[in-house]
Amino acid sequence: MTDLTTHGAHGSEPTRPGHLPVADVPHVLRVADTDPKAAKRVERQVSSMFLLSILLVVAFVVAYIGIDKSTVVYIPVFGEVGASTIALGLTFGASVLLIGAGAIQWAKKLMPDVEVVQMRHELVSPADETAEAAANYERGKEESGFARYKMIRRTMIGAMALFPIPLVIMLRDLWSSPVSGTLSPAEILSTTIWKKGERIVTDATYLPVRPEDLPVGGLVSAVPASLQEVQHLEGNLNARGKAAIILVRMDPDEIVSQQGDGWDYQGILAYSKICTHVGCPIALYEQRTHHLLCPCHQSTFDLANSGNVVFGPAARNMPQLPIGVDSEGYLIAMDDFSEPIGPSFWERSK
Amino acid sequence: MKFLAARRRNPLVAIGLLLFALIAVGGGYAAIANVQPAQASVGSQTQVEEGKRLYLAGCSSCHGMEAQGTETGPTLIGVGAAAVNFQVATGRMPLAAPGAQAVPKDPTYTEEQIAALAAYVASLAPGPAIPTAEDLDFSDADVAQGGVLFRTNCAQCHQAAGQGGALTQGKYAPNLMGSTPQQIWEAMATGPQSMPVFSTATLPAGDKQAIMAYITNLQTASSPGGLDLGRLGPVTEGLFLFTAVFAALIAAAIWIGMKAR
Amino acid sequence: MTTTSPVEKAGASTATYVDQRLGSNKFLSRNLGKVFPDHWSFMLGEIALYSFIVVLLTGVYLTLFFKPSMVEVVYNGSYVPLKGIEMSEAYASTLNISFDVRGGMLIRQMHHWAALIFVASMSVHMFRVFFTGAFRKPREFNWIIGVVLVTLGLGAGFTGYSLPDDLLSGTGLQIIRGIVQSIPVIGTWGAFLLFGGEFPGTDIIPRLYSLHILVIPGLILAMVTLHLMMVFTQKHTQFPGPGRTNDNVVGYPLMPVYMAKAGGFFFIVFGIIALIGGLVTINPIWIFGPFTPDQVSAGSQPDWYIGFLEGALRMMPNWETNLAGFTLSWNILIPAVIMPGILFTALGAYPFIEAWVTGDKREHHLLDRPRNAPTRTGLGVMSISFYLLLFVGGGNDIIADAFDLSINGITWFLRIALFVIPPLMFVFTRRICLGLQRRDRDKLLHGYETGRVLRLPHGEFIEAHEPLSIKDMAVITSKTDIAPLPVPPKADIDGVKNKQFRKQNLRSKLSHFFYGENIPLPSAAEIEAGQAHVAHDAALEAPLASYEDADELRQFHGGVLHHPGMPETNAEQLADRKE
């Protein structure tokens, strides 16, 4: 949009075609504008930046080939750090940075620094063009017979409306129930692999637990004994995500209430490890206060009192797992959880 | 603290500290074990008596004349020598000031006095003993397995990099960067303050050693990606983003926008 | 030009060659001289664009090595503390990029830092556009595109954060699952379709991958193109200044200055990102370990741009209702779905709301100074303070730990502050803006204060004022005073009831709220008189110029300059008075 008007032009400044100098502001010449020596200096400065950039790329290649990935170097403030990453980052970063610094120095010191004016134009299209556009549209509408052929119009709108349906409907099988399509998500969420007689084993090491293994104040992150097998069969961590529990032991006198009568075993309580807020695993157990704190959103549950919420955004208490011992004296589950574990969902009734 | 922590990061210092701890603990234990090698390890009669004297003078006001516990301090019957050693040697006990939880400081008692106190408390009832040199030897432990156990049992409070974290009502799980293997063992075995107990049966000696190996690795590991920003994750990264990176970018923008002279 | 170098010849012939095929010279003739105004704050958007380009470049590199698969493998790379551990292929390949690909760590960290910078610079750019009123007609569409871009930026960031399948990102996904699952009626189905069944499943990483590297960047690219095309067509806005009007653009032409500066800035942004990527760790996934749904680390946080949602989730009271056997989780819906929904809708709708309230239909190319729109500035600061409080809430555990505070205390403080501080910020900001407007008025009427106190022969003390510079005058007088919409009549002259009364009345009230207390600029005559008075001051001060040691004198007399002819000592002064 070239504006060759002379409106507002002020004499002394050099003008370029299409541009007007800015009114009223006295232009101060830069050192390099008046002193050829200074201009030469800037030229040297800028080209040495570009030269240094070239050298740094060479240094990058040398560092890439020469420094082993595992080399560790001590740098004050940083401590012991990986030498390769630091060297590559420094050489590459500095080489790129210098191109930018050089270009900007060039622009600031040597390219013209006279601000120029360009006129704006109203964005609104001229009336004749608007009229022509409208006429074209009307003509198109008329020629197509869009208004006349009612049936065509209606069926086409219908067809267009339905056209995305196949695209959307095919998203349905993003998930299909593994059990021949019989279980709904809510039903699947409502059960875990805990069942009566399922042994409780330690997480990560899969050791069965006897009641006497757990002192008062003790904590064990635990899973069902069959988890490893299930995980292997299913090839995912879904069962683990629901069945993880914690075992804690407190003085039976300190237990204020439980979710079911006799669901503890001699002061040992088992609670789900999955938060009822949005499902973070919780094992941040304070043995003195019997509080369980979620590290994600700080919901706090009182395990001595039915796992009730004492603080934070969780609305429901942590589900408790009824436990007992088997004939060999190992801790077992007496049943599955009596309610869905983890975060709330629409279909849950409680 | 920072100074100490920085020096502890040096592997030589860590090894030195470890050796010192091993000799001190091993020596102390040998002395105790000579008298009564049973698991309820009780010190010599003189040690127990010295310990009782110290206990009555320094501890009984909170923990009770018979260590039965009072409103201001829990019972010490059955907490074992390991608990006494952990609490007193790290300066957590005696309490500096009432607060959300006991804060570590320079120990008030000498090593002999601590051993005597431990012997006295251990004589009250059986409890976790001070770990032996063998217990603390994690040279054969699997660091990677230690990592799995650490993330399963410890990271929820002490944070994945052992930097510590907040608990409820102003309490906190301490940073582990300065913790010695003995302290780590004793803390797991006794469950000081808010920390739960990780018993020998559910977390056997081998597992505890693997965890010690992993924490030691965290303490001494170099930072492969450069400045580690305290290994606190996205919060410090975000802080660095806005205070340093964004400041640099804006400074560059201002430089570009400035008129040259 | 009398001689032509080979380079120019080659350039000219290339231009001809291309022009004969595309007619490109028409475009070049029009645009090589296009003028762009210069101001550092106009470069915030450039930072966003350039960091996005860096994200694209480094991202392509990462796709060559990353394996978006949740198949369990046993890690056997060079990072010892994870050797022999079972993990997903995604996590193993991220470790591989970090430890076994030379330069892989650098690229990964550059990618992540650049992504954080991308979202941060978009946000700050948006603040600049908001506070200067650059979103007004004709740029409303571009504002909406900007809001869409920020939203897409959050999506791109979050999907990328989730890909390595480490313990931290997995915890983030677990929270997303909880949020989706809480949506009424369709929640469980939504979560199952998203994750391919139960959490975590084995589908989510590959699905997020296709979103992260194809769908979202494609949309961002399209939106960025539109955004820039609009800037190009509408020409950039400019700050007020001498010679700058609503009808012109003052600045540097595209060729060569703007091109050199913008091009140079690209390399500077790129260079800074590469330096930070090489020097500063980001997301040390090797410390967090592989994801499993039963492990968690204390201090689990999202990247900064999700922090406000995390904070909202943490602060929310635990409301949940059960209606006829169905559960509504307000404790999740309000902070994670409803609040951000309202926030982003209000953001997108703001230009239209303001235009409706003010009834302003003019084109605006000259930017507002934030003080000249006190209500808008107040609303902006209010919203930012609301956002920041949520943001602080997202890190309450780290704050509690670092400053020895109680998490519960911080949470309660924030729950209350969220409703108290933002309105206060609105009031304060609006007052400060009005104060600054009064100061501007004073400057026009009395010139600017030099801080030099002058004592006149008759004993009067005055502070010397100086006339405003051309630039200050142009900036201050750029303000346009607009009267609020009048109160509508209840009925017209013929007594016909005004059916639109309620709507019009509301609009008039809002308009008064928006403009009502503005301090109008003095009239041209008043300004002229004021500046003339200032010139009078200068005349009074002029004799002082003859003082060779004026500075010394000033110090000696405690900063008060005595007018020549003034008695020098108190004694003389007293004597003066007696006479």
- 3-state SS string over C325-358? CEEECHHHHHHHHHHHHHHHHHHHHHHHHHHHHH
Inter-chain touch B201–A81, beta carbons under 8 Å: no
Highest mean pLDDT among A295-299, C218-222, C300-304, C548-552: C218-222
Interval B185-233: pLDDT, tens: 889 988 888 899 998 888 999 999 999 999 999 999 889 998 988 888 8
Mutation choice for C interface testing from A91, A99, A118, A282 by most C CBs within 10 A? A118
User: Same structural domain for residues B115 and B51?
Assistant: yes
CA A151, chain centre distance (Å) = 49
Burial of residue C559 (number of CB atoms within 10 Å: 0-12, 13-18, 19+): exposed
User: Same structural domain for residues B98 and B160?
Assistant: no
A255-264, A307-316, C400-409, C540-549: which has the minimum mean pLDDT? C540-549
* Distance of alpha carbon C522 from alpha carbon C530, whole angstroms: 10
* Distance of alpha carbon C37 from alpha carbon C90, whole angstroms: 46
- B201 to chain A nearest CA, in Å? 5
Q: What is the pLDDT of residue C174?
A: 94
Inter-chain touch B172–C105, beta carbons under 8 Å: no
* Distance of alpha carbon C8 from alpha carbon C333, whole angstroms: 63
The answer to the question of residue B79 being in a domain is yes
Count chain A–chain C contacts defined by CB atoms under 8 A.
332
Q: What is the pLDDT of residue B259?
A: 83
Q: Answer for the pair B73, B63: CB distance below 8 angstroms, yes or no.
A: yes
* Distance of alpha carbon C101 from alpha carbon C410, whole angstroms: 43
Write phi, then psi, for A210 (nearest 5 degrees).
-95, 150
User: Is the peptide bond preceding residue B94 cis, with omega within 30 degrees of 0?
Assistant: yes
Inter-helix orientation angle C216-234/C140-162, to 10°: 160
Task: Scan for tokens 């198949």, then name that residue.
Answer: C71
- A251 to chain C nearest CA, in Å? 26
- A240 to chain C nearest CA, in Å? 7
The answer to the question of residue B71 being in a domain is yes
User: Same structural domain for residues B120 and B148?
Assistant: no
The answer to the question of residue B18 being in a domain is no
* Distance of alpha carbon B208 from alpha carbon B221, whole angstroms: 19
Average pLDDT over residues C557-576: 48
Which residue, B124, B154, B184, sits at the end of a domain? B124
Residues spanned by the domain of B201: 143-222
Whether the pLDDT of residue C574 is over 60: the answer is: no
B123 SS3 class: helix
Q: Answer for the pair B248, B46: CB distance below 8 angstroms, yes or no.
A: no
Which residues of chain A have a pLDDT value below 50?
1-19
**Which chain A residue has its CA at the smallest distance from B201's CA?**
A213
Helices within C235-338 (DSSP H only): 259-279, 285-288, 307-315, 330-333
The answer to the question of residue B26 being in a domain is no
The CATH number given to whatever domain includes residue B207 is 1.10.760.10
Q: What is the pLDDT of residue C578?
A: 47
CA B159, chain centre distance (Å) = 14
Residues in chain A closer than 8 A to B227 (CB atoms) = 77-78, 81
Q: Answer for the pair A26, B259: CB distance below 8 angstroms, yes or no.
A: no
Q: Which of A19, A102, A277 sits opposite C178 (nearest CB)?
A: A277
Chains with 3+ CB–CB pairs under 8 A to C are A, B
Q: Which of A79, A85, A217 sits opposite B191 (nearest CB)?
A: A217
Here the tokens at position C302 are 């999202």
- Model confidence at C534, pLDDT cuts 50, 70, 90, reads confident
Q: What is the pLDDT of residue C5?
A: 78
- Model confidence at C175, pLDDT cuts 50, 70, 90, reads very high
Inter-chain touch B202–A284, beta carbons under 8 Å: no
Residues in chain C closer than 8 A to A343 (CB atoms) = 177-178, 181-182, 329, 332
- B186 to chain A nearest CA, in Å? 14
Q: Answer for the pair A13, A27: CB distance below 8 angstroms, yes or no.
A: yes
**How many C-beta neighbours within 10 Å does residue B204 have?**
14
Nearest to A320 by CA among A227, A248, A240: A248
Chains with 3+ CB–CB pairs under 8 A to B are A, C
**How many C-beta neighbours within 10 Å does residue C575 have?**
11
Query: First-to-last CA distance in chain A?
Result: 68
B91 SS3 class: coil
Provide the strand spans (E) within chain A: 20-21, 72-75, 79-82, 116-119, 200-202, 219-224, 245-249, 268-272, 284-286, 291-293, 300-302, 308-311, 320-321, 323-325, 331-333
Which residue, B189, B206, B222, sits at the end of a domain? B222
Q: What is the dihedral of CA B158, B161, B163, B168, to 10 degrees?
A: -30
User: Same structural domain for residues B110 and B159?
Assistant: no
Residues in chain B closer than 8 A to A109 (CB atoms) = 260
Inter-chain touch A215–B199, beta carbons under 8 Å: yes
The answer to the question of residue B158 being in a domain is yes
Q: What is the pLDDT of residue A180?
A: 57
DSSP letter assigned to residue A11: T
* Distance of alpha carbon C569 from alpha carbon C231, whole angstroms: 66
Here the tokens at position B207 are 């597992």
**How many C-beta neighbours within 10 Å does residue A15 have?**
15
Chains with 3+ CB–CB pairs under 8 A to A are B, C
- pLDDT > 70 in chain C, percent: 92
Here the tokens at position B163 are 């930097």
Inter-chain touch B194–A286, beta carbons under 8 Å: yes
Residue A83: CA count within 13 A, CB half-sphere:
12
Tell whether A110 lies on the interface with C, counting CB pairs under 8 A: no
- B258 to chain A nearest CA, in Å? 9
Q: Which of residues 98-137 of B touch A (CB under 8 A)?
A: none
Nearest to A269 by CA among A289, A294, A251, A295: A251
Provide the strand spans (E) within B129-210: 165-166, 172-173
Could you tell me the CA-to-CA distances from C473 to A32, B258, C133, C527, C536 in Å, in that order?
Answer: 30, 21, 21, 10, 18
Inter-chain touch A115–C275, beta carbons under 8 Å: no
Inter-chain touch A104–C265, beta carbons under 8 Å: yes
Mutation choice for C interface testing from A46, A61, A114, A175 by most C CBs within 10 A? A175
How many residues comprise chain A?
Answer: 350
Q: Average pLDDT over chain C, rounded to whole?
A: 88
The answer to the question of residue B54 being in a domain is yes
Write phi, then psi, for C232 (nearest 5 degrees).
-65, -45
* Distance of alpha carbon A241 from alpha carbon C202, whole angstroms: 13
- A131 to chain C nearest CA, in Å? 21
Q: Which of A175, A283, A348 sits opposite C193 (nearest CB)?
A: A175
The answer to the question of residue B130 being in a domain is no
Here the tokens at position A37 are 């020596």
The answer to the question of residue B129 being in a domain is no
ipTM reported for the complex, 2 dp: 0.90
Q: What is the pTM of this model?
A: 0.89
Domain count, chain B: 2
How many residues comprise chain C?
Answer: 579
Task: Scan for tokens 């209010």, then name that residue.
Answer: C382
Q: What is the pLDDT of residue B33?
A: 43
- A287 to chain C nearest CA, in Å? 17
